[in-house]
């Protein structure tokens, strides 16, 4: 009789630990899926903005206060507008303003949360990296790059 009790206790403990392990695995999978979704949406957003502004001389990568900023528009025009896309304080931000405005990075509108965002433009290839180490990347051929 005591051995039957021990078997039931062992069985109950096994079920408890299996359920606990399964719930932890499910939680990890959900967290990774949410992170991948945020990164994918952010890259799609940036890709679409670049495609919309793909005109000769409109796309530049600048560094402002040691932050990589994607600048779309022609800042040399007095009546022109520029769009900055950058990561600031853990969020992707967008700042759309007149080219001669003295706005700062903190003035941008929050778009999405992110761990980091870097841009690199070489010849006609724009590279976008998002997330912490080993994050996702996007490569865009800027067709109308000014020579």
Q: What is the pLDDT along the chain (147 residues), one digit of tens a residue?
A: 577 788 888 888 898 888 888 888 888 888 888 777 888 888 899 999 988 888 877 888 999 889 999 998 876 656 688 899 999 998 999 999 887 778 888 889 998 888 888 999 988 889 998 876 566 788 888 876 555
* pLDDT score for 94: 94
* pLDDT score for 95: 93
* pLDDT score for 144: 62
* pLDDT score for 86: 94
DSSP 112-147: EE-S-EEEEEETTEEEEEESSTT--EEEEE-TT---
> Other CB atoms closer than 10 Å to residue 124's CB: what's the count?
13
CB 130 within 8 A of CB 116: yes
> Which helix (H) or strand (E) segment is 61 a member of?
strand 59-64
- This prediction has a pTM of 0.74
* pLDDT score for 77: 59
């Amino acid at each position: 009789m005591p051995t039957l009790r021990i078997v039931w206790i062992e069985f109950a403990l096994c079920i408890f630990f299996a359920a606990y392990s399964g719930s932890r695995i499910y939680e990890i999978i959900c967290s990774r899926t949410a992170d991948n979704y945020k990164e994918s949406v952010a890259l799609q957003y940036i890709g679409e903005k670049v495609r919309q502004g793909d005109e000769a001389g409109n796309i530049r990568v600048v560094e402002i206060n040691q932050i990589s900023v994607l600048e779309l528009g022609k800042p040399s025009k007095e009546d022109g507008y520029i769009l900055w896309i950058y990561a600031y304080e853990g969020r992707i931000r967008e700042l759309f303003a007149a080219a001669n405005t003295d706005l700062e990075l903190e003035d941008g509108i929050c778009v999405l949360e992110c761990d980091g965002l870097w841009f690199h433009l070489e010849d006609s290839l724009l590279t976008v990296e998002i997330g912490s180490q080993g994050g996702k990347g996007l490569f865009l051929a800027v067709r109308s790059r000014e020579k």
